[in-house]
Structure 1
Amino acid sequence: MALWMLAWVAIVILPACQARLVPRVSFPSGSSGRLLSRFDSPTIGNTTTLLLSHDGETLFVGARDAVISLDVSQPGVMELKRKLDWFPTTKDLDDCSMKGKVKTDCPNFIRVLQFLNSTHMYTCGTFAFSPRCTYIDSQTFNLVFGPSGKPDEGRGRCPYDPYQRNTAIIVGERDSLQRAGGDGELYTGTVADYRGNRPVISRYLSEGNHIDLKLDDTLGWLEDPTFISSTFIPSEEKVYFFFSEEGREYDFIEKFTVSRIAQVCTSDIGGQRTLQRRWTTFSKAQLLCQAEKELPYNVLQDIVTLPPPDGASDDETLFYGIFTSQWSVNSGKSAVCAFRLGDIKKIFSGNYKVLNRDTLRWSTRVQEKVANPGECGLHNASDSDLRFVKENFLADESVLPIGKGLALVSPDQSYSKITAQRTRGANGKDYTVLLLLTESGFLHKVVLLDQGPHIIEEVQVFQQPQAVKNLLLSISKGMVFVGTSDGVLGVPTSNCSYYWSCAECVLSRDPFCAWDPNRKACADVTSIPADAGQDVDGANVVEMCKVTTITPRAKFGQHKPPTESCPPGEQVLVSLNEVVTLRCPEASKLASVHWERPNSRISPELYLQRSDGSLRFLATPVTLGHYLCFSTESGYQQTLALYTVKQNSGGASTGTGAGAGAGAALTTPATTPTRPSSQSTVKGVGPGPKTEAPKPTLFWRRPDATITFNTDRKFTGVNRPRLDQDVEKLEPAEGRSYFQELVAVSLMLALALCVILMGALYALRQKCRGKSGPQVCPRRDSEAGSLREQDPLTRSPSPTAAATGNKRKGLAQNGLVQNGLVHGKAPSAKNGSPRGSNGHLPNTPM
């Protein structure tokens, strides 16, 4: 039982305690701090298939019923050059509807767009659930049909369903053009039937001694796969396919998804008798993205190839993939794992599993290998060798990630697309930068460090969820293009000019950016000749910038030029009893913000620091004076804002020390923008009537209002502090609401009802006790005086009996008769206190 508990803690509790990755800087859509280039058109939709020209000047985009070319030669500009319409006929659309498909899914969605050679492109589209392929002249941007004079059949080259994922790559491109279409060969992973039940990996457009190949449909080489990506490694002469599928080698009750990598040789021409026109070099292995003592992230979402560094072996080629999990314990999480080509080759050269055709179960082969599955050149092998590779195509071991762990895991972000780049920092060290697209529409820029990943920034690229998206990185242009259903965006990979100081430039930990001491600006590290201020690993500001303090920003949301001198502080004029809001510009989401006052303390009884870092308080003689906002990040503290709060000349007398007035903490909520405001000052100033020095008041803290009582205890009602015009402008989302007054009136009404109810219950209780008490008949004084009392312990006459009898009449008149002091016999008195027969006070429960 104890072992099960430990396993449950390791699987469930520990992953939940993972640190949350927070982007240091966030840029919402339309932010002036991150300028993007964008193309959209009301007549062009589903611009999700991207292809950049070799010179980087033109971006070709496959859209719905069209292929377009965009001019991206100028930074920040994306203009339409040409549009090539290619849409189904009315008959094709009617046939699609007759098949039971939704009309909006019947247009021609371009899903394949590749360069065939230097003069032509090859493209395929769903074409009303009847895939078609054709050629495009890159110079004239016109459609070019084959010898038949019409588009080619697209079955096996393009999916039928526009929402079904596929992959395609052209290999063997040559400059010579012998016919329309050239000499490139198309390698695809998709489905080959209308229902999507026949997944295939195929080769088309073969020439010479090459022939078109595909997988044998009857072998079960693929188990309901979802194709993700493909890449070509020239040194290996292999094309690698990445996909997810059902793992039949695992004997689970429910369907278990696994991530795969498969390989085929470009020199494969099929067997002579066995496996004719079929792959002889196909083999696959599992990609295992799993952290220690955790369930695996088994569903592959996207993967990208990162070439090796200059001078390194091709075995150092890395594949960075996004993985999610089908297990509820990891629901909503995304993990990034990196796999090395050398490790993949080792797995493919090892042992293979064998499938028992009778029991449909997999097992590890124990006998000697007749041939090496996946080895190039097997098309000349014997029939027995080909039968062996035909049954042994699943590698026995799984490919483990680098370091046998996760490169990144995000517990609260669902990533869908990835691209990667290797760049060199100012210290000569290479850093890997990942660009990750979230399902919520943000592009995360992440640098992988030895101590863990660091999210440099996030940029919102679209606001509505997108079903099909694409990322295309251009290292030469320093741009990443995002294809969405609504348009195409160009996002620069670096944003160095955003950081206004040396400290901010170093704290960003962006390997693309460094501080130029000569220009006094944050710039691209490649443009700085020497002494570049950059510390990606440690963010040591003091060492890089040779400073210990830094002046505040002059204006919120605006970046001060290096030559501009910073003012000593912003002056804020207020009236007494006005709400003051001092805003601190958000330099980083990773920094902690705090406020200070010279020679004074910011107590929580008088001040409220909100989650956005702003400080709120009520203007009183005590709260006037100087305020400083600091941020602390990576052990470095910098001043972000200085204020001097003064009283209006038309108001009451000012006071900066401990005055006679009393302040109160105000907790009125406000909606503030996520980024710093563009106003230079934020004031709590209102017209306000002239008043004398306020009387001392007593405040009752409540989230939305302040109930004020005068010192003479006369109730004056609910007084909601009036927000000045500047604050109202900064917080337009609040609007006018009477919720505070409603809550206050409800509380007072409830209090009054409670008082009335308690009074009624008390009166009723007194009445009931009067009816249930013992009734004593009036006696004459002589009879009253003749009564003899006995001590309850000795049963002897009490010496105080006479005195008690003389006072019985007075006690009866005072109502004490009902309490048992006069009823036949009187209780004993000790030390002057009347007691009952049990030794306790009368009517007092034990």
Structure 2
Amino acid sequence: MELKGEGAEDRVRRERLEFLSHSGELWDTKVEAHGSMKSTNYGTVLDPKMFGGVTNFSTFLLDRSSGMLFLGARDAILSVDTNQLDKPPRNITWDVPEEKRKSCVAKGKTEVDCHNYIRLLEFLEEGRIYVCGTYAFDPQCAFLDLSSFTLEKAEDGGVKMETGKGKCPFEPSQHYTAVMAGGTLYTAATSNFLGTLFDISRATGPEQERIRTERSINWLSDPEFVSSAFIEQSPDNNPTGDDDKIYFFFTEVAKEYDLYTKVKVPRVARVCKSDVGGMKTLQRRWTTFLKAQLVCEDKPSGQRYNILTDVFTMQHTQGDPSSTYFYGLFTSQWEHNELSAVCVFSLSDISKAMDGPFKELRKTCENWINPEPVPTPRPGQCLNNALKDGGFESSLKLPDKVLTFVRDHPLMENSVTAAPLLVRKGIKYTKLAVTQTGSGEELRAVLHLGTDRGELHQVEVVGQNSTLLQEIPLFTSLEPINNILLHKGQALVGSPLSLARVQAEGCALYPNCEVCARARGLGCVWNKDEEACRSTTVKPGPGDTADDALRKCDIKEGRCSPSIRELQVSMGLRLLLPCVQLSPRPCSWEYPPHRHTRQHHSDLEVTVSEESLGRYTCTCQEVGPGIRDPTPCQRAAYHLTLEGPSAGGTVATAGGRHVLAVYILFFCGGIAFGAFLLYFVTRRRSIGRQGHHLPDNSLSSEKGRDLLGSSATPQSPSSASLLSEGFRLTEKRNGTATTTTTTTLLSNQGNGGHHGNSYSGTLIHSNPSNGHGNALYANCNTSSSGLKFASEILAADMLDGRTGERERVRPEGGERESGEGDEVDEGLGDGLVEGIKGLEDELASFPMFKSPAPLAQCEESSI
């Protein structure tokens, strides 16, 4: 069944989930309600009603010793006991006075945004939490006492507050990150009401040590902050006496690329904990701020993922800071469809880039100039024993030439490069957390990925292979996952409205033999006697052990040798054949030669007809164990046959006959209406020949009025073809629309009872009286006089929300191949066009077909 108002991507995802559930790939998600909490076989989901109407959860803070989870929401702070989720959460209200909210709205902000959205929760000493909120675009911070779970009061009885500027963003939806390092808060946020100034700063501590970045586009260029991490040096293994460091991850507009469009790049920036700024140059500014580009790229395909979404920091060896790795979640600036990738960067590689050559950003009109010589001591380095021995006990003692150089050269020449661990097309991941087993070369990890549709995906990573273990639906499709915290083998997963606790570690979380077999690389085996997945200490042998484990299950198939699934289908049915691909290598389908299909990323949509019955096989390129070159791996196989009485022939249904009768009725009605119009115009012309003429000023007073109302801009020369490439209704290209463009829009889905394309199209012409194509904009209306008759109907497959391949369709509704029968007699075509044009002109002069008063013109920008 199709839902009203459902978008194309929503429909694709729903159909995929429905298919997986019917084919047995989604395990049982039946829930049992226990008061306001739903328990499932994968975990517990809290009902939003438990939170008493509090919404917009954006910030999580976990006390790992007690298991208390603190949630920052709109106008409230909540406390949830993760050990007893059935207990009602405790609630603190911290809202904005009515007068301040009205003042915020008067400044041009929306009523929804003029609340207090809690964006920062950080532990302080003495059992307190530092709390900061947007406070109606005037950020404020307060102190929460854990023993009484109340906000500290001021002398007047109100909440004791201090300014949050530089500590918390002004706008609820602004990108922002903060980290506490040794009791001092470091933040990356906007620092003004308009959201145009960006700072990475030390936001607390002694006033003279509160420093920030330089206000220069070479330092920060329209950044979107993502994550931050404090890396503390090991006191037992730090022979050089190197300083502790804070790392910030963000995406910004690259200034080193001289292109016509803005290119976004992911960055990692580093500052040092003991940095207190310079004495003359860079006063109250970072003297150790350096940044490098992160490159997440699949070199064989040339696909680069340049938008950073989330970063998860973990030590592969506990207690060893040098073993820190950063798992980055990426998407692409140039991909209009949903696309997600995960790349891993090591701290050692980032350190090598920071210790490498500096990039010279200044240039002449023709070529890059020679870089300046690097002064001594090296600019941007943290304090260590060598600097202290040279007399530089503080950044205040650094010479001006060193500070001037680092001010002008914050960007490093070398990038930090990694290949993607996994790539998912058609899925938008929002958050990432990682659990691992083993170490060194035997490191095995599970990626916990939250989607924008309220699902949690678990992906096994062993070496260069990634395997999707399970997809867990937690929340409704309107709730994106915005927080994932790992605690005691469980994942605390949050959305803006609710909270869930899911098992994150251990083989017992895999519910059936097939999923357990996929997790063979994690040391899991299926116990037939217990009907459960159990861990084993036996190391996997050589080869793809997942194949052997899968063959032992009832499905009798391997990881790269799936069994053929028989699907009984009915004529005209549209179905989606899933093929999950996690590597960046492409997938291809083999299918019957005469078919109507469309590939949605790695999945395949099929419209069932007699010609489309048969076998469908999906083959993906993957990297096998111990093999670096990609090898083909068959991931899915299906065989489509007609169900029940329909097998062996096509049976016309009553619904099909009714639709055909309606089409015939409309066709006959159209002929009758055309004959009436032709007779009406002919009779009017004959009357005109007998001397009954219109007044001499009829053109200027009627038609001319409409033409002047549309536009005074002269029409641009039309292209040779009336059929240009279709694109989205609301899309602008370089600020202007193409002249005399015909746009094909999706109107409604067909009933699935026809062979071939089941979509109907709507043809919309641009206004011919001006050359700017006003009909291409969703918020614009044309005031063209007269009626326009489309001489050709375009049908478009727009399942993915954009205009796809166009197929010419016969007026009777039957389809033909593009390019077949395109030759039309030119004389007949010219005569038909002239006849239609004359008919338009005649109809335009009648008041009944005139448009009302001229409408406002569409907003356009010039190049």
- Residue pair 1:516, 1:531 contacting (<8 A) in 2 also: no
Match for residue 701 of structure 1?
649
- Residue pair 1:444, 1:458 contacting (<8 A) in 2 also: yes
Partners of 1:588 and 1:94 in 2: CA distance: 61
1:227 matched to 2:188: no
Using the TM superposition, give the Cα deviation of residue 277 of structure 1 relative to its aligned residue in structure 2, in angstroms: 1.6
Using the TM superposition, give the Cα deviation of residue 490 of structure 1 relative to its aligned residue in structure 2, in angstroms: 1.8
Structure 1 residues 225 and 363 mapped into 2: Cα distance closer, same or farther (>3 Å)?
farther
Using the TM superposition, give the Cα deviation of residue 247 of structure 1 relative to its aligned residue in structure 2, in angstroms: 0.5
Partners of 2:115 and 2:570 in 1: CA distance: 65
- Residue pair 2:430, 2:482 contacting (<8 A) in 1 also: no
Structure 1 residues 247 and 153 mapped into 2: Cα distance closer, same or farther (>3 Å)?
same
Partners of 1:380 and 1:59 in 2: CA distance: 44
Give the match's secondary structure for 1:353: coil
- Residue pair 1:507, 1:539 contacting (<8 A) in 2 also: no
Match for residue 137 of structure 1?
145
Structure 1 residues 280 and 551 mapped into 2: Cα distance closer, same or farther (>3 Å)?
closer
Pick aligned residue for 2:119 from 111, 115, 133? 111
- Residue pair 2:325, 2:347 contacting (<8 A) in 1 also: yes
RMSD: 4.4
User: For 1:721-771, what per-residue CA distance to the aligned partner results, in whole angstroms no more than 9, with x for missing partners?
Assistant: xxxxxxxxxxxxxxxxx5255369899999xxxxxxxxxxxxxxxxxxxxx
Match for residue 407 of structure 1?
421
Partners of 1:536 and 1:127 in 2: CA distance: 59
Match for residue 405 of structure 2?
388
- Residue pair 1:421, 1:475 contacting (<8 A) in 2 also: no
- Counterpart residue identity of residue 666, structure 1: E
1:429 matched to 2:429: no
- Residue pair 1:434, 1:446 contacting (<8 A) in 2 also: yes
For 1:305-324, list aligned pairs within 5 A: 305-310=313-318, 314-324=321-331
Partners of 1:437 and 1:535 in 2: CA distance: 32
Structure 1 residues 605 and 340 mapped into 2: Cα distance closer, same or farther (>3 Å)?
closer
User: For 1:668-703, what per-residue CA distance to the aligned partner results, in whole angstroms no more than 9, with x for missing partners?
Assistant: 89xxxxxxxxxxxxxxxxxxxxxxxxxxxxx8622x
- Residue pair 1:446, 1:456 contacting (<8 A) in 2 also: yes
- Residue pair 1:353, 1:363 contacting (<8 A) in 2 also: no
For 1:3-42, list aligned pairs within 5 A: 25-26=25-26, 32-41=40-49, 42=52
Using the TM superposition, give the Cα deviation of residue 166 of structure 1 relative to its aligned residue in structure 2, in angstroms: 0.3
Structure 1 residues 263 and 610 mapped into 2: Cα distance closer, same or farther (>3 Å)?
closer
What percent identity do the matched residue pairs reach? 31
Match for residue 461 of structure 1?
474
Match for residue 484 of structure 2?
472
- Residue pair 2:555, 2:563 contacting (<8 A) in 1 also: no
Partners of 1:302 and 1:25 in 2: CA distance: 28
User: For 1:479-531, what per-residue CA distance to the aligned partner results, in whole angstroms no more than 9, with x for missing partners?
Assistant: 222221211222221585575665653244472744457x6343453xx6x66
Give the match's secondary structure for 2:304: coil
Partners of 2:288 and 2:577 in 1: CA distance: 59
- Residue pair 2:357, 2:412 contacting (<8 A) in 1 also: yes
Match for residue 655 of structure 2?
739
Pick aligned residue for 2:414 from 387, 397, 415? 397
Match for residue 51 of structure 1?
61
- Residue pair 1:509, 1:537 contacting (<8 A) in 2 also: no
Structure 1 residues 291 and 505 mapped into 2: Cα distance closer, same or farther (>3 Å)?
closer
Using the TM superposition, give the Cα deviation of residue 428 of structure 1 relative to its aligned residue in structure 2, in angstroms: 10
Using the TM superposition, give the Cα deviation of residue 326 of structure 1 relative to its aligned residue in structure 2, in angstroms: 1.5
User: For 1:617-670, what per-residue CA distance to the aligned partner results, in whole angstroms no more than 9, with x for missing partners?
Assistant: xxxxxxxxxxxxxxxx9999xxxxxxxxxxxxxxxxxxxxxxxxxxx953689x
Structure 1 residues 268 and 531 mapped into 2: Cα distance closer, same or farther (>3 Å)?
closer
What is the TM-score of this pair, normalised by structure 1?
A: 0.58
- Counterpart residue identity of residue 483, structure 1: G
1:332 matched to 2:346: no
- Residue pair 1:262, 1:283 contacting (<8 A) in 2 also: yes
Partners of 1:549 and 1:303 in 2: CA distance: 38
Using the TM superposition, give the Cα deviation of residue 318 of structure 1 relative to its aligned residue in structure 2, in angstroms: 1.1
Structure 1 residues 267 and 450 mapped into 2: Cα distance closer, same or farther (>3 Å)?
same
Match for residue 723 of structure 2?
none
Partners of 2:660 and 2:144 in 1: CA distance: 73
Match for residue 670 of structure 2?
none
Give the match's secondary structure for 1:255: coil
Structure 1 residues 297 and 222 mapped into 2: Cα distance closer, same or farther (>3 Å)?
same
Give the match's secondary structure for 1:259: strand
Structure 1 residues 214 and 336 mapped into 2: Cα distance closer, same or farther (>3 Å)?
same
1:511 matched to 2:522: yes
Consecutive unaligned residues of structure 1, counting only runs of 5 or more, are 1-21, 173-183, 554-585, 596-601, 614-632, 637-663, 670-698, 708-719, 721-737, 751-846
1:666 matched to 2:678: no
- Residue pair 2:520, 2:546 contacting (<8 A) in 1 also: no
Using the TM superposition, give the Cα deviation of residue 310 of structure 1 relative to its aligned residue in structure 2, in angstroms: 4.3
Structure 1 residues 269 and 252 mapped into 2: Cα distance closer, same or farther (>3 Å)?
same
For 1:65-214, list aligned pairs within 5 A: 65-74=75-84, 77=85, 79-117=87-125, 119-144=127-152, 150-172=160-182, 184-207=183-206, 211-214=209-212
For 1:713-728, list aligned pairs within 5 A: none
Partners of 1:28 and 1:360 in 2: CA distance: 64
Partners of 2:293 and 2:577 in 1: CA distance: 46
Structure 1 residues 420 and 118 mapped into 2: Cα distance closer, same or farther (>3 Å)?
farther
Match for residue 487 of structure 1?
498
Consecutive unaligned residues of structure 2, counting only runs of 5 or more, are 1-19, 32-39, 234-242, 384-394, 579-619, 625-631, 634-640, 667-863
Using the TM superposition, give the Cα deviation of residue 286 of structure 1 relative to its aligned residue in structure 2, in angstroms: 0.8
- Residue pair 2:232, 2:321 contacting (<8 A) in 1 also: no
- Residue pair 1:124, 1:134 contacting (<8 A) in 2 also: yes
1:379 matched to 2:396: yes
Using the TM superposition, give the Cα deviation of residue 84 of structure 1 relative to its aligned residue in structure 2, in angstroms: 0.8
Pick aligned residue for 1:63 from 69, 73, 78? 73
Structure 1 residues 594 and 139 mapped into 2: Cα distance closer, same or farther (>3 Å)?
same
- Counterpart residue identity of residue 490, structure 2: M
Match for residue 349 of structure 1?
355
- Residue pair 1:471, 1:480 contacting (<8 A) in 2 also: no
Using the TM superposition, give the Cα deviation of residue 92 of structure 1 relative to its aligned residue in structure 2, in angstroms: 1.2
- Residue pair 1:57, 1:72 contacting (<8 A) in 2 also: yes
Using the TM superposition, give the Cα deviation of residue 132 of structure 1 relative to its aligned residue in structure 2, in angstroms: 0.5
- Counterpart residue identity of residue 203, structure 2: Y
Match for residue 463 of structure 2?
450
- Residue pair 2:132, 2:142 contacting (<8 A) in 1 also: yes
Give the match's secondary structure for 2:138: coil
Give the match's secondary structure for 2:201: strand
Using the TM superposition, give the Cα deviation of residue 284 of structure 1 relative to its aligned residue in structure 2, in angstroms: 0.8
Using the TM superposition, give the Cα deviation of residue 211 of structure 1 relative to its aligned residue in structure 2, in angstroms: 1.6
Give the match's secondary structure for 2:360: strand
Partners of 2:278 and 2:154 in 1: CA distance: 29
- Counterpart residue identity of residue 194, structure 2: R
Using the TM superposition, give the Cα deviation of residue 160 of structure 1 relative to its aligned residue in structure 2, in angstroms: 0.7
What is the TM-score of this pair, normalised by structure 2?
A: 0.57
Using the TM superposition, give the Cα deviation of residue 356 of structure 1 relative to its aligned residue in structure 2, in angstroms: 3.5
Q: How many residue pairs were aligned? A: 555
Give the match's secondary structure for 2:492: strand
1:538 matched to 2:522: no
Give the match's secondary structure for 2:522: coil
Partners of 2:521 and 2:560 in 1: CA distance: 15
- Counterpart residue identity of residue 205, structure 1: T
Give the match's secondary structure for 2:382: coil
Give the match's secondary structure for 1:397: coil
Partners of 1:360 and 1:391 in 2: CA distance: 20
Partners of 2:558 and 2:362 in 1: CA distance: 62
